[in-house]
Structure 1
Amino acid sequence: MRLPVFLLLLTMVFAASNSMGASKGEEEHQKIIDSGQIYDDPELQAYINRIGQSLVANSDKPKGKFTFTVLDSGVINAFAAPNGFIYVSRGLLPFMDSEEELAGVIGHEIGHVTGNHHGRRGRADITSKIVATTAYILTGSGDLAEASTMYGAELISGFGRDMELEADGLGAEYMYKTGYDPQALLEVIGVLKDQEQFQRVKARATGKPAGTYHGLYASHPRNDKRLQTVIRKAGELDLDEYVESPEQAGEFRRHIEGLVWGESVQGQREENRYYHSKLAFTFEHPEGWSVKSSSKAVVASSADGRTSLTITLRRKDSSKTPESVLKSSASGDFSEAAALEQAGLQGYCAIASSNGVAKRLAVIDYNYTYLLQGESADFAANDPVLLEIIKSFRPTHPKEKQAGTPRYIHYIQVPRGATFASIASSIRIPYAEDQLRLLNGMYPRGEPRTGDWIKVIR
C-alpha cells in the first residue's frame, strides 16, 4: 500500500515553497486526481467544501480561490498547499466529534495560506528535488525510509511553533466569524495529542519512530497558555450582528457513518469499469467513455458526448417492485420490457418512447433502488451498448476492494454493562481497544455510559 507514503511526500512537496506558483499547485493537484487519490464520496467532498468555503468567506482573503479535497488515505493528516489547495485525509475524520471540530482543522489550514506561511518558510532551493521525489512515489517505487533519508525529517516538521500558533489564531477567528465556537479547536488539538501519545506508546513497543501531526505542540492544549490566549481572543471579537452556527443537526454523523477505516477500498480494479466506493456498486463501460460522479448522479458518457447513461437512486420501498417503480417514474410507450436478474440483484428494464424520442430505462434494487436512464443521438445503434452497461451493474466484489476485510466506521449505542474492552473484543484489528478510545475521546482511560452513542469499527 503506497498511499500513506505518497501523502507524506506530498506534504513535503507542498510545504516546500510558494515559488511553485499557481500553475505548479494546480499541476500537483491534477496529479492527485489522475493517480486516484481522491476519496470517492461526492457528498462528503461537497460537505468539506461547504465548510471550507464558509470559513474562507470570513477570512482575510474572502475572494480568494480555495480548493478543498478529501484524500483516500488512512493517515491522520490535513495540510495546506500554496495557492489555496487544502487537503484533509479520510483517516483524520473519524477522530472528530462534530462539524465544529472539523471546521477547526480546516480553519487552521486556511490560516497557513492567508498567513503566507509557505512563502515565509522559504524552501525554494529544494522544491525541484521534492517534486521529483513525488513523481518517484507516484510510479509505485520507493518507500518511506528512502524518502525521509534522502531529504531529511525537517522537511515534514510543519511550519514552526510561531506559524502554527498564528494559524490557530487565524483559524479560530474565521471560525468565530462563521458561527462556530473557536473552543472546538482546543478539542481538536487535544484529540491529536492523544493520538500522538498513542503513537509513542506503540513506537516504544515496536521499536519504530513515532510520527506526529504537523500542527502539534510539545504541551497539551489545556496547559498551553499562548494557544489558549489566541483562541480566547478570537471569541472576544466584536461582530456587527449575531452569527448563527451553520452546523445542521445530524449532518456530521451522517457523513462519518459508513466512512472507510484504514486501508483504501479503491484498489484491485479492472480497466473500463467504474466503482463507487461508498455505495459499493460497479458497472462496465466501453473503452473511451468517461464517468463523472456528483452528489446527485453518476453519469457515464461516450467520448463524443452523444450517448450517455445516468444513474440516480432513491430509498428502497419493499412494497414496490422494480417494474412498478420504472412504470410510475417514466412516461410514454414501453417496449422490449424484461425482468433483470444479475449478481443476485432484481431489476426491470424497458425502452420508453415519447414524442419520437426513445430512452433505455432500468430499475435495480440493491442497497437502494437505482434508476438508470440511457439516451443517445442515434438510439437504435447505441441501445445495445446501453443495455450491456445496465446488465453489467452489480455489487463490488471484496477482491476489488482490498486484500483482507474492508472496515467502516459505525455508530452504536453502548449496551448495558459494556466497556471499551468488551466492545473491542469482537474487532479484529491491532490495538482495538486503544483505537476505540481514540475514536471516542477517551484515551487512555474512561468508560462509556450505557446508552451513549459511540463510534466503532466493523
Structure 2
Amino acid sequence: MDKKSFLLRALLLGTLVGLSGCARNPVTGKRELSLMSTEQEIALGKESHPSVVTTMGLYEDKKLNDFINEKGQAMAKISHRPDLPYQFYIVDSPVVNAFAVPGGYVYFTRGILAHFNNEAEFAGVLGHEIGHITARHSVRQQTSQMLGTIGVIAGAVLVPQLGQSIEALQQGLGLFMLKYSRDHESESDKIGVEYSSKIGYDARQMAHFFSTIKRISDNSGQQVPTFMSTHPDPANRNVKVNEMATAYQQQNQGNYRVERDRYLRMIDGIIYGEDPRQGFVENNMFYHPELKFQFPVPKDWQHQNSPSQFQMAAKDGKSAMILMLAKGNTLEEASQTLVQQLNLNVLESGRTTLNGIPALVMISQQKPQQQQGQPQPQQDPKSVLQLGTWLIQYNNTIYALHGLATAGDFATAFRTFEPVAKNFRALTDQEKINRKPERVQIRTVSRDGTFREVMGNLGMPANRLEELGVLNSLKADDKVARGSLIKIIGR
C-alpha cells in the first residue's frame, strides 16, 4: 500500500470514529463502533410507539398490564442498562409474539400471554426481549431500520412474488419490529436466562416454552410467529436454554419460582384468537361489526386482519387486496393525497356508487423511484405495480380498497377485484354485529385422567384437541391430576 493510500484510509477511519464514536457494550463489555447514541435509541422508541399502537391497538386489562409492568420494571432494575425509560405494553393481537424497540419499549401480544402457562415462561421471554435492548443489538447491526409494517410482514407471507413493490402501500402504518441475527437471538436467550433467574424465576420454563412455539410452527405449516422468525430452531433452543438455566441454578443456589396457578387465574377471560369486533371472515365474507360493513373474500384467498387494515391475497401471489383508511375529507381530496403519498400515475378515475355508498374508482400505476440528479429509471411495463383503488365514503369515514397486481396480470386480476368492491355494503345482520369473541377460561379438573379425557369431560370438541393441547402445553395422552387448573376455550 502506498503512503497516499494509507493516509487516505487512515483519514477515513478517523472520520468514522470521530462521527460515530466507540462505546463499551453494556452486556459484552467489549468496545465497539456505535452508530446510534442512547439518546437516539430513546428517540427511536418514542417515534415508533404511536405507530405500534395505531397498527395493533392496546389490550386493556388492568391486572395483566399491572403484572407485566411490575415484572418488567423489576427486571429493568437488575439489567445491564437500568437507566433506560422502560415501558411495557400488551398489544391487541392474537399472534403468539413478543418484540422490543430500542430505547426500552417492550410489547407482548395477548396471543402470547394466552399461551404462557406460568409466570416463569413469561419472565424468560421478558428477559429475552429486554436483552435485545440492553445488548444494543440494533446498534451492533449498524442500522436503525425496522423490519417494516405489519403489511410488509403479512405481504411477505401472503404475496411473496410481489416482493418490494407491495411496500409502497404500507407507508405510515409503522409496526416496528427488529429482525436480529441468529447470534443475537442466542445471546438474548442467555440474557433471558440470567435476568429471569435474577428476579427469582425458574428459567427452565423458558426452555419449555420453545416446545410450544415449535408446535405452533409445525401446526401452521407455513408462517413461523415473528418471535421465532429467522431465529435458531426452537427445538435446539429448548435444549440449549435448559442447559444454560440448569448451569445457572447450579452456580447460584436458590428457590426459583414457577407460579403456574397464579398466572392461570390472572389470564382467566383473556380474549383468544381473532376479536370479531375488529372484523372476521366467515363463509368467504369479511364482516366488521363495529364499523358495520361487509364485503366478500375471493374463494381460496389467504387473509390477515389487524386493527388498521385487512389484507387478502391469491395463493399464486399474483394479486392482493388491502383495505385501509384514507386521508381526506372528500373523495377527491383522498384521491389526491393517495396519489402523492404512493407516487402514482393515474390512468383513469371517476365517481361511482357501491350499493348506494358514494365512491371513487381509480386505476393507477406506481412510478419508479428516481434519485435526485439521476435519469428516470427504465422498467418493464409488464412488471410495474398497477392498482385498482376504490375510495369509499361510508359513515363519515373514507376507506381505500386497493387491488394490486403487476401491469401484465392486472386485467385478469381486476375481474376478481371488481366484484369485491361492488359488494361492499352496510352490515345489518344483528347476529354478526353482536358476535362475541372466544376467551380463555380456567377450570379445575374434577378427576384424574388423560388430557383428552379431561377436555371431553369439560365439553371441548374433539377437533380442537390439538389446539387446546398447544394452549395448555399438553399432549392428548398426558396425565392430568384432579384439582389442577386447566385452560378451555369458550365465549
**Partner of residue 446 from structure 1, selected from 449, 463, 478:** 478
Q: 1:223 deviation in Å?
A: 6.9
Aligned-partner SS, 2:480: coil
Letter paired with 1:406: P
Give the 3 Å change call, closer, same or farther, for CA 401–181 of structure 1 in structure 2: farther
Q: 1:36 deviation in Å?
A: 6.4
Letter paired with 1:61: R
The yes-or-no answer on 1:455 pairing with 2:487 is yes
1:432 is aligned to: 464
Is the deviation greater in 183-192 or in 86-95? 183-192
1:165 is aligned to: 186
TM-score, normalization by structure 2: 0.51
In the alignment, the residues of structure 1 paired with residue 238 and residue 53 of structure 2 have an alpha-carbon distance, to the nearest angstrom, of 40
2:68 is aligned to: 48
**Partner of residue 145 from structure 1, selected from 158, 163, 177:** 158
Letter paired with 1:420: R
2:297 is aligned to: none
Retained in 1: the 8 A contact 2:454–2:480? no
The yes-or-no answer on 1:120 pairing with 2:140 is yes
In the alignment, the residues of structure 1 paired with residue 49 and residue 165 of structure 2 have an alpha-carbon distance, to the nearest angstrom, of 22
In the alignment, the residues of structure 2 paired with residue 44 and residue 399 of structure 1 have an alpha-carbon distance, to the nearest angstrom, of 32
In the alignment, the residues of structure 1 paired with residue 259 and residue 227 of structure 2 have an alpha-carbon distance, to the nearest angstrom, of 29
* Consecutive unaligned residues in structure 1, runs of 5 or more: 1-16, 201-208, 272-397
The yes-or-no answer on 1:69 pairing with 2:82 is no
In the alignment, the residues of structure 1 paired with residue 255 and residue 83 of structure 2 have an alpha-carbon distance, to the nearest angstrom, of 22
Letter paired with 2:223: A
**Partner of residue 248 from structure 2, selected from 229, 234, 243:** 234
Aligned-partner SS, 1:235: helix
Give the 3 Å change call, closer, same or farther, for CA 423–119 of structure 1 in structure 2: same
Aligned-partner SS, 2:83: coil
**Partner of residue 217 from structure 1, selected from 232, 239, 247:** 232
Q: After superposition, where does 1:59-458 map in structure 2 within 5 Å?
A: 59-124=79-144, 127=146, 130=148, 133=149, 145-146=158-159, 149-150=163-164, 158-200=179-221, 209-215=222-228, 217-218=232-233, 220-221=235-236, 224=239, 226-238=240-252, 250-264=261-275, 266-267=277-278, 268-269=289-290, 404-416=435-447, 419-420=451-452, 423=455, 426-427=459-460, 431-443=463-475, 445-458=477-490
Give the 3 Å change call, closer, same or farther, for CA 412–64 of structure 1 in structure 2: same
In the alignment, the residues of structure 2 paired with residue 407 and residue 194 of structure 1 have an alpha-carbon distance, to the nearest angstrom, of 21
In the alignment, the residues of structure 2 paired with residue 197 and residue 400 of structure 1 have an alpha-carbon distance, to the nearest angstrom, of 34
Superimposed CA distance per residue, residues 305-340 of structure 1 (whole angstroms, 9 cap, x where no aligned partner): xxxxxxxxxxxxxxxxxxxxxxxxxxxxxxxxxxxx
In the alignment, the residues of structure 2 paired with residue 401 and residue 143 of structure 1 have an alpha-carbon distance, to the nearest angstrom, of 31
Aligned-partner SS, 2:232: coil
Letter paired with 1:182: A
Retained in 1: the 8 A contact 2:56–2:91? no
Retained in 2: the 8 A contact 1:192–1:213? no
1:285 is aligned to: none
Give the 3 Å change call, closer, same or farther, for CA 185–18 of structure 1 in structure 2: farther
In the alignment, the residues of structure 2 paired with residue 63 and residue 47 of structure 1 have an alpha-carbon distance, to the nearest angstrom, of 21
Q: 1:49 deviation in Å?
A: 0.9
Aligned-partner SS, 1:231: helix
Aligned-partner SS, 1:412: strand
Retained in 1: the 8 A contact 2:290–2:433? no
Give the 3 Å change call, closer, same or farther, for CA 31–156 of structure 1 in structure 2: closer
Give the 3 Å change call, closer, same or farther, for CA 159–232 of structure 1 in structure 2: farther
Letter paired with 1:262: G
Retained in 1: the 8 A contact 2:155–2:166? no
In the alignment, the residues of structure 1 paired with residue 209 and residue 95 of structure 2 have an alpha-carbon distance, to the nearest angstrom, of 16
In the alignment, the residues of structure 1 paired with residue 234 and residue 193 of structure 2 have an alpha-carbon distance, to the nearest angstrom, of 19
Give the 3 Å change call, closer, same or farther, for CA 34–223 of structure 1 in structure 2: closer
Retained in 1: the 8 A contact 2:44–2:102? no
The yes-or-no answer on 1:38 pairing with 2:52 is no
Q: 1:71 deviation in Å?
A: 0.7
In the alignment, the residues of structure 1 paired with residue 430 and residue 51 of structure 2 have an alpha-carbon distance, to the nearest angstrom, of 26
TM-score, normalization by structure 1: 0.55
The alignment yields a C-alpha RMSD, in angstroms, of 4.0
Retained in 2: the 8 A contact 1:156–1:214? no
In the alignment, the residues of structure 1 paired with residue 64 and residue 234 of structure 2 have an alpha-carbon distance, to the nearest angstrom, of 32
The yes-or-no answer on 1:58 pairing with 2:72 is no
Aligned-partner SS, 1:57: helix
In the alignment, the residues of structure 2 paired with residue 142 and residue 221 of structure 1 have an alpha-carbon distance, to the nearest angstrom, of 29
Letter paired with 1:191: T
2:415 is aligned to: none
Aligned-partner SS, 1:252: helix
- Fraction of identical pairs, as percent: 26
Is the deviation greater in 98-107 or in 189-198? 189-198
Retained in 2: the 8 A contact 1:412–1:455? yes
Q: 1:117 deviation in Å?
A: 1.1
Give the 3 Å change call, closer, same or farther, for CA 249–144 of structure 1 in structure 2: closer
In the alignment, the residues of structure 2 paired with residue 259 and residue 401 of structure 1 have an alpha-carbon distance, to the nearest angstrom, of 21
2:300 is aligned to: none
Q: 1:149 deviation in Å?
A: 3.0
Retained in 2: the 8 A contact 1:413–1:452? yes
Give the 3 Å change call, closer, same or farther, for CA 401–107 of structure 1 in structure 2: farther
In the alignment, the residues of structure 2 paired with residue 29 and residue 434 of structure 1 have an alpha-carbon distance, to the nearest angstrom, of 35
Retained in 2: the 8 A contact 1:264–1:402? no
Q: 1:250 deviation in Å?
A: 4.7
Aligned-partner SS, 1:454: strand
Aligned-partner SS, 2:275: coil
Q: 1:102 deviation in Å?
A: 0.7
Q: 1:435 deviation in Å?
A: 1.0
In the alignment, the residues of structure 1 paired with residue 88 and residue 432 of structure 2 have an alpha-carbon distance, to the nearest angstrom, of 25
Superimposed CA distance per residue, residues 83-127 of structure 1 (whole angstroms, 9 cap, x where no aligned partner): 111110100112211111110111111111111111223444x55
Retained in 2: the 8 A contact 1:190–1:221? no
In the alignment, the residues of structure 1 paired with residue 238 and residue 194 of structure 2 have an alpha-carbon distance, to the nearest angstrom, of 21
In the alignment, the residues of structure 2 paired with residue 422 and residue 234 of structure 1 have an alpha-carbon distance, to the nearest angstrom, of 36
In the alignment, the residues of structure 2 paired with residue 119 and residue 219 of structure 1 have an alpha-carbon distance, to the nearest angstrom, of 25
